Structure 1
Amino acid sequence: MRSVGAMITDTLNGKGYKLDLTLFLQWKTWALGAVGAFFIFLIWVLSGSNLDSLLMERSGTFLGSKKGKPDVVTGSLENSRFLTEKERDKYFPEHVYSELSSVKKDGIPVRAVLDKKNVLQVNFLPGAHSLIIGATGSGKTTTFINPMIQLLGATAAGSSMIMTDPKGELFDLHSKFLVSRGYKVLLLDLRDTYSSSRWNPLEGIWDMYQEYINAGKGIKFHKDSMSDYPDLKKMDGEAEGGKPWVEWQGKAYSDLTHCQDDVSVTRQKFFDEMYEDLNDLISVICPIENEKDPVWEKGARSIIMATCLAMLEDSEDERLNMTKDKFNFFNISKALTNSEDEFRALKEYFEGRSKLSQAYTLSRQVLSAADTTLSSYMSITFDKLNMFNDRGLCGLTSATDVQAEKFADQPTALFMKIPDEKDTRHGLAAVFILCMYKALIKVASAREDLSLPRNVYFILDEFGNMPKIEKFDKMITVGRSRKIWFNMVVQSYSQLNNVYGEKVADIVKSNCGMKMFIGSNDIGTCEEFSKLCGNMTVRTNSTSSNVGSKAGEMNISSQTQVRPLIYPSELQMLNNKESTGNAIIVTFGNYPLRTKYTPSYLCPYYKMGRMNMDELRSHMFRADEVYYDLDERNEIILGKSENGDDMDQSA
C-alpha cells in the first residue's frame, strides 16, 4: 500500500488517483489531520485580539485566578477586601431575633436578614456614631431606619431613642410595638401642634438663671465652735478665739471674704453656662445665612438675646411677676414685633437697667441705631421669629412635658414629626436636638461615672435638611463617652458640606465609627465612599503576536494594577428594582462589609402599628394667662404710662 504522502504528491502532479477508503482507518491519517488542525488553530489565535479575549475568558485556566473574579495580588501595599462571613460574626456579635429579648448589649444593626429557614439573623456594632448615605428613593427607611428601631426595641438593653420623623410614618409604624416593650412613647408634633407633647426650649435657661441668682442664698452664720461640725470641709482653718464663721454648701469658712469669693465664682459659672447655652439656642433660631453681609442677622441675634436676658433679670423683681410660665418665645416674639411708636415700648424696656447689664449692652447695638437702620434690624428679627405667630406652636413651646431625666431613667422613645413643606419649623427641630443633648450631658455629668445608665440613640432622618446646629462637631465628640449616639441620615456628603462647611463636616465624618452607603446619585459622594473602601492590587495581562514566520510568535506579559475595591459606578447601582436592602459599611479598624437587610415590609418579625392616640393629651394655649405686658412692666419700673408719658406722681 502506498503512503499517504505519495498519494498527495501524485495528486498535486496531476496524476489520476482513485480514493482508497481504507486510508481513513489508518492511525497515520488521523495523526496528520490533528497536526494540521493544530497549526490552523494557532494561526487563528495569533491573528489579532483573539488571544486577549481568550485569556480574559479563561484567565482561571491560564493564570490561576477564579473565573469571573480579578486575579488579586497578595502581599501588596494596597490590598483592601470585604470582610468574610466568619470575620463579620467575630467583630459584630451575631444573634437571632428570638434571642434579642435577653440581649443586654445592643448597638447599630449592621446586618438584619432572613436566612433560608426564615430566621432573622442580626449583627450589632456596639457603641458608635454613624453616618448613613441614602438619597430619596434609595430605600433608606425600609433598609436601615425601620429595622434599627425595631431591633433596638426588641433587646433587653432598653435603650432610649430620639427620632426625627419627617413624614410622620415612623410614629405610625413603631409606636405600638415600643409601648408593648415597656417604652414611654412621646410625640413632639410640629405639624399637628395641639396633639403634641409640649417642650419649652427656654426652660433649661430659666432653671440655670435661678441657680445663678440663688447661689448666694443658704449662707449660715455661726458663733459656736467649728469642731462641733466634723462633716464640714474647713476651707481656711479653724475660727480663732471664738470668732464667728460661716457655713455654705457643706463648707466652713473662718474668713467671710473667702466665702463671698467662692459664692461669686460659683454664680459666675452658672451665668456663663446659661449665657453660652442661650447663645447656642438663639444661633440655631437665627442662623447666619448671608455670609457676605452678616451684620443684619447678627443684630437680630443680639436683640433677641438681649430680650431673653432682660426677662430673666425681671424675674429677680417680685413686683413684675415674671414667672417660668411666662418665659417663652411667645412673649419674646410679642416684645420684639410690637413696632408701635417706633418701638417705644421695647426701647423703654431696656431703660433703667444697670450699665453693666448684659441685656442693656446687647440692646444698645440695635436700639441706638438710626431709625432706618433699626427698621432693617427688626425686619430680620420679625422674619426669624415668624413661626411663633402660630398659636399652636406657641402652645407647644409654652411648657415642658419632655424631661431629659426620663430618657436616662427608663426606656423612652420620642418621635419628632417635622412637616417637610414648612422649612421654618426645621429650625425648632434643630433647637430641640441641641437642648436635649445639653440636658442629657448634665444628667450624665451628675453621675459618678459621668455617663448615662442606658444608651440614648439620636436617629436623625433628613439630617442634611436641618439648619446648622452650632458646635455639633463638639457634641459628637463629647457624646461618645456619655453613651449618647448620633445616627445621621443624609442624601450626600455635599449636603452635609453645604450646611456645616467642609471643615466641620470632615470632623463629623471622622468621628463616625460607622459609615454606611445605601444609595446616592451624587458622583462626588460615590467617589469619596469608593476611596474610603480602599483599593486592591490585581494582575492584568497583555499579549502581542507576529504573523509571518513559519511558527508564528506570541508574547504574553503580566503587570500589577491598583483598582478600587468597589467602583463609584457600582455604588450607584447598589440598590435597584431587582435587588434591594443592600449596603456597604465601613467601620473603624476593619475591612469594609458588604451587607444585607431584609426590607422591613418583607420581614414578618417586625411588628408595625400605631399606639392608642388617647394616651396623647391635647393642649390648648391660653395666651392671656402667660402674656407678659411690657407696658405694664415699664409703668411699674419707670413710672410711665402706655403712651410713654410720665405718670402724675402728685396724685
Structure 2
Amino acid sequence: MSLWKGRGELVMRTKKTSQKQQGRTGRESNLLLSRNVKVSYNTWLSKLGSLNCLVIGGTGEGKSRGFVKPNVYSLPVDPRDGKPVSFVFTDPKGELCHETAGFLEANGYEIRVLNINEQHFSDCYNPFRYIRSADSLLIMVDSVVENANGGKTPTDPHWSNSAKSLLNSICYGVYYEFAFKDQNFTTVSELLNMCGFSEGDEGYQSDYDIWLEHLAETSRMGEEHPAVVWRRKVSATGKEMSSIISTAQTAVRLFASKDVQRLTNVDTLAMDTIGDRPTAFYIIIPTTNSTYNFLISLLYTQLFESLYYRAQNVFDGSLPHHVTFFQDEYANVGKIPDFDKKISTFRSVNLSTCMIVQSPNQIETLYGKAAADIMDNVHQTVFIGSGGQGEKSATKWMSNALGMKTIQAEQTSVHRSKTVDLFGIDGSTVEHSYSATQRQLMTQDELYRLPPDRCIVMIKGQKPFLDYKMDPDDCLNFSSDLFTVQGKHGRELKPELLYPINDKDLEHPARKRTADSYRRGVEQSVEIDREQKERRRKDMEEDEKYDPVPKEPMEPEVKPIQEVLRPGEMGHYEPAGCHDGRRATVEELFDEEESGGK
C-alpha cells in the first residue's frame, strides 16, 4: 500500500514488506533501486531514457550491501533475450570481489580482476593492446597527461600540450615500429629517457632525434611518419625543453616501477570482450592513495572506447550482453575524457552506469561545467543517507532536487470587543483564514535524520519514493546452497567460494593470478608478433606488384634501436622466456631483471 504525503509530492511506503522465502532462486530482469522500486533492463518497454543511475550515500550508509550486492545476487538478465548482464565494478579495498566473485563464477561468469592493491593477484593490463587507430592513441596520451595532476586544468596549458606532443611522437614510434611484445609503456619510458637538451647548442640532437632521423630515411612513411610529425611540433630548446621532458616524465613516472611494468607489459584482461559473454570485471583501487588514479582513468577511457568499437564494428550497433558499471567512489578514479558525451549514448550500445558518490558536488569538482551534461543523462537517483549539512553537502543537493511542495497555512484572528450584550456575551469574533504556501518537500534537517533503513528514490517522470533499503537476505539466490547461515550479518558466501585478493586468503585456483596471466600474455604477444610480421610481408609483396620504380628490398621491421644508436646506451625490458624459445617459470617472471631484461 502506498499513500500520498502532503499534496502528492512524495510516495511513501507505509509498511515494511519482506520478500524473503527460503530456497527462492531465479534471475531478476530489473535494476533494483530499493525494496519496492525497480526498473526494467528493457528501457524501451519502461519508456525510460536510460538506466544510468546516481547513488548518493556517506560512509557506512550501506552503498555496497544495500545497493550493489542485491543487484549482483539477483543474477539479472535482459528481458528482451534472456542473456545475463555483465558487470564492471570499481571496488575500493576489494571487499566486493572477495564476497561476490566466487558466487558469480559458480553461476557461469568469467572473472577478471585488476588489483592495484595486491598486484600479484591481478590480471595484466597493457594500454597499447586497445589501440586500433590514430585517434585511440591520441585519446590514450590525452588521458595519461590530463590525470597526471589529478584531472585539474593546469594554469599554463603550454607545458602539458607540449608534453602531449612529445608523448604522441614516442607512442606513435612504439606503435608503428616496435614488435607487439615491446609495445608498452616500459618502452615509452625508455624512449623518453633518450630525449635530451643542450642549453648552449641549438642544433643539439638527442638519441631519440637520431632514431627519428633513421625512421624518416628508412620508413615507407618517410617524413610523414606520425612520430616525426609530432616531434616537429615540439620546437623548444634548452630549459624550455627540459621542462617539457619533465612534464612528460611526471605523466609516465609510475611505469618505471617493476611491479607496474609487470602489470602493464602484457594484457590478459581482454576488456573489449566483456559484452560478448557473461563477465564480471573488478577494478580494485586503493582507498587512500590516489597515485594510480591516472591508470584507472585510462583503463575506463579505453574500456568505453573498446566496447563502443566492438558494438559498432563487430555487432549490429549494440553489444549482445548488457554491461552495467557499478562505479563506487566514482569521483576518486580520475577524470575520464569526454565522459559527458559518452554517457549520452550508453543506451544505444547496451551500456549503463551506476555512479556511486558521497556527494554530487564531487562530480562537479572533477568535471566542472561538463558535470551538468553528465547529470542530465542520469534518470534514476537513490539517496541512502548522508551525515553532512553544509551548503555543498549531499543533503543540501538532495533537498533542492526533491523540489517544493504546497501546504495549507491556517491563520486565526481574534477581534475582542469591550461591549457586552443583554445576555452577557461580548462582541468578540474569531476569524479563520487559509492560504497556500510552499516549503521544501524535505529539508536538509529532515534528510539528515532519515532513518538508517530508509532511502529516497527519484525516477524521471515519477514523483519521488520514500522506501526501505534493500537487504541481500531478501534477494533472489541468497538462500541457495552457495551460502551459509553463519555470519556477522546473516548469510555469507561459503569460505571456499571467497575470492582471493591478498596473501591472507585461502588457496584458490586464482591465487597466483598475475604469474599465470603474465605467462599467457607473453605467449599471446609472441603469437601476435608472428601474425604482424606475416602481414607486413604480404603488404610488401602487394606494394611491389604495383610499384613501377625498382627499389632495394626493405626489411618489414625497422632496425632495433640498439643498432641505430651507439652500443650500450640503452637496454630494453624484455619478459623472460620471449627469445630463447622455452616457457618461463614463475620465478623468472617475477625476478628483477638486474641485467637489463635479457
How does the TM-score come out when normalised to structure 1?
A: 0.66
Shift of 1:183: 1.2
Aligned to 1:297: 160
SS of residue in 2 equivalent to 1:337:
helix
Shift, 1:98, TM fit: 7.5
Contact 1:184/1:411 (8 A) holds in 2: yes
Q: Structure 1 residues 362, 340: CA separation in 2 closer, same or farther (over 3 Å shift)? A: closer
The equivalent residue for 2:554 is none
Which residue pairs with 1:255 in the alignment? none
| Residue 635 (structure 1) shift | 5.5
Please report how far the alpha carbon of residue 410 of structure 1 lies from its aligned counterpart in structure 2 after TM superposition.
2.2
- Is 2:417 aligned against 1:554? no
Q: Distance in 2 between matches of 1:159 and 1:607?
A: 23
Q: Report what 1:308 is aligned to.
A: 171
* Equivalent residues of 1:426, 1:466 under 8 A apart: yes
Counterpart secondary structure, 1:394:
helix
Gaps of 5+ in 1: 1-68, 74-78, 113-120, 209-269, 315-321, 645-651
1:592 is aligned to 464
Which structure would you say has the larger Rg? 1
AA aligned opposite 1:347 = D
Letter in 2 for 1:351: E
Q: Distance in 2 between matches of 1:402 and 1:340?
A: 35
Query: What is the CA–CA distance in structure 2 between the aligned matches of 1:416 and 1:587, rounded to whole Å?
Result: 28
Whether contact under 8 Å (2:54, 2:382) holds in the other structure is yes
CA contact (8 A) 2:141 2:167 kept: no
How far off its partner does 1:145 sit? 2.1
Q: Deviations over 1:194-227 (max 9, x none)?
A: 221111111121xx2xxxxxxxxxxxxxxxxxxx
Report matched runs for 1:143-182 at 5 Å.
143-152=66-75, 157-182=83-108
Match of 2:56 among 127, 130, 133: 133
Asked if structure 2 preserves the Cα contact closer than 8 Å seen for 1:284 and 1:467, the reply is no
Distance 1:508 1:95 in 2: 34
Task: Name the SS of the counterpart of 1:590 in structure 2.
Answer: coil
- Kindly state the Cα deviation for residue 447 of structure 1 after the two structures are TM-superposed: 5.0
Give the structure 1 partner of residue 372 of structure 2: 506
Distance of 1:393 and 1:599 partners within structure 2: 38
**Aligned partner of 1:291: which letter?**
P
Q: Distance in 1 between matches of 2:313 and 2:270?
A: 15
- Which has the larger helix fraction? 1
2:385 aligned residue (506, 516, 519): 519
Q: Judging changes above 3 Å, is the alpha-carbon distance between structure 1 residues 160 and 97 closer, same or farther for their aligned structure 2 residues?
A: farther
- Specify the alignment match of 1:109 in structure 2: 32
1:530 aligns with 2:390: no
Output the CA distance in 2 between the equivalents of 1:586 and 1:185: 32
Cα deviation for residue 508 of structure 1 reads 0.8
- The letter for the 2-side match of 1:80 is E
| Partner Cα separation in structure 1 for residue 306 and residue 23 of structure 2 | 34
Note the alpha carbon deviations across 1:327-381, whole angstroms, 9 max, x for none: 0011111221356786832232322424333322322343x31221111112222
For the 8 Å contact 1:196–1:616, the answer to whether it is kept is no
Paired residues of 2:58 and 2:358 also in contact (CA < 8 A):
yes
In structure 1, the partner of 2:48 is none
Query: Separation in 2 of the partners of 1:432 and 1:97?
Result: 40
Residues 263-412 of structure 1 mapped to structure 2, 5 A cutoff:
270-271=133-134, 273-286=135-148, 289-314=152-177, 322-338=178-194, 344-352=206-214, 353=216, 354-366=222-234, 368-404=235-271, 406-412=273-279
CA distance in 1, matches of 2:522, 2:242: 28
Is 1:472 the counterpart of 2:339? The answer is: yes
Deviation at residue 500 of structure 1 after TM alignment:
0.4
State the match for 1:203 in structure 2: 129
Partner of 1:14: none
C-alpha change, 1:545 and 1:274, in structure 2 (3 Å) is: closer
Inter-partner Cα distance in structure 1 for 2:24 and 2:371:
35
> Is this contact kept in 2: 1:333–1:388, CA < 8 A?
yes
The 3-state SS of whatever aligns with 1:545 is strand
- For 2:318, the equivalent position in structure 1 comes to 451
The count of residues paired between Structure 1 and Structure 2 equals: 475
Distance 1:601 1:345, change over 3 A: farther
- Displacement of 1:302: 1.7
| 1-structure distance, mates of 2:148, 2:224 | 25
- C-alpha separation between the residues in 2 aligned to 1:392 and 1:559? 70
What secondary structure sits across from 1:473 in the alignment? helix
CA-to-aligned-CA distance 1:60-85 (integer Å, 9 cap, x gap): xxxxxxxxx98x56xxxxx6332678
Counterpart-to-counterpart distance in 1, 2:441 and 2:250:
49
Displacement of 1:624 after TM fit? 12
Q: 1:581 maps to what in 2?
A: 453
Structure 1 residue 125: Cα displacement: 4.3
Higher deviation after alignment, 610-619 or 508-517: 610-619
Inter-CA distance 180–284: structure 2 relative to 1 (3 Å threshold): farther
Q: What residue identity is the alignment partner of 2:10?
A: R
CA distance in 1: counterparts of 2:33 and 2:275, whole angstroms: 25
1:124 deviates by 4.0
RMSD: 3.5
Q: Secondary structure at the match of 1:202?
A: helix
The answer on whether the counterparts of 2:319 and 2:350 sit within 8 Å (CA) in structure 1 is yes
> Are residues 490 and 97 of structure 1, via their aligned partners in 2, closer, same or farther at CA, if it must alter by over 3 Å?
farther
The one-letter amino acid paired with 1:329 is F
Q: Deviations over 1:379-414 (max 9, x none)?
A: 222221121122112111111212245422321101
CA contact (8 A) 2:197 2:241 kept: no
Using a 3 Å threshold, how does the CA distance of structure 1 residues 280 and 339 change in structure 2: closer, same or farther?
A: closer
Asked if 1:615 corresponds to 2:544, the answer is no
Tell me the residue number matched to 1:496: 363
Query: Kindly tell me: are residues 177 and 561 of structure 1, through their superposed partners in 2, closer, same or farther at Cα, counting changes over 3 Å?
Result: same
CA displacement at 1:186 relative to structure 2: 1.5
Partner of 2:544: none
Deviations 1:455-483 (A, max 9, x none): 11111000111211001011111111111
Separation of aligned partners in 2, 1:150 and 1:291 = 44
CA shift at 1:312, angstroms?
2.2
Query: Aligned equivalents of 1:616 and 1:442: distance in 2?
Result: 33
Cα deviation for residue 171 of structure 1 reads 0.9
Pick closer, same or farther for the CA change 1:308–1:161 going to 2, 3 Å.
same
Question: Structure 2 CA distance, aligned partners of 1:369 and 1:195?
Answer: 43
**Cα separation, 1, equivalents of 2:138 and 2:162:** 17
Alpha-carbon shift at residue 150 of structure 1 (Å): 2.0
Aligned to 1:237: none
Identity of aligned residues (%): 23
1:568 aligns with 2:491: no
Q: Which residue is equivalent to 1:432?
A: 299
Deviations 1:541-579 (A, max 9, x none): 0112234532422121110112222222222222xxxx4
Structure 1 residues 291 and 281: alpha-carbon distance in aligned structure 2, compared to 1, 3 A threshold: closer
Are residues 517 and 364 of structure 1, via their aligned partners in 2, closer, same or farther at CA, if it must alter by over 3 Å?
Answer: same
Q: Distance in 1 between matches of 2:197 and 2:138?
A: 33
Letter in 2 for 1:587: I
User: Residue 345 of structure 1 aligns to which amino acid in structure 2?
Assistant: D
Q: Secondary structure at the match of 1:82?
A: strand
CA distance 1:101–1:485, shift in 2 (3 Å): farther
Provide the rounded CA distance (Å) in 2 between the counterparts of 1:184 and 1:459. Answer: 17
1:277-298 deviations in whole A, cap 9, x for unaligned?
A: 4455445554663432122122
| Matches of 1:519 and 1:84, distance apart in 2 | 17
Output the amino acid matched with 1:363: R
Counterpart of 1:310, as a letter, is G
C-alpha displacement at 1:123, in angstroms? 3.6
Q: d(CA) in 2 for partners of 1:419 and 1:203? A: 24
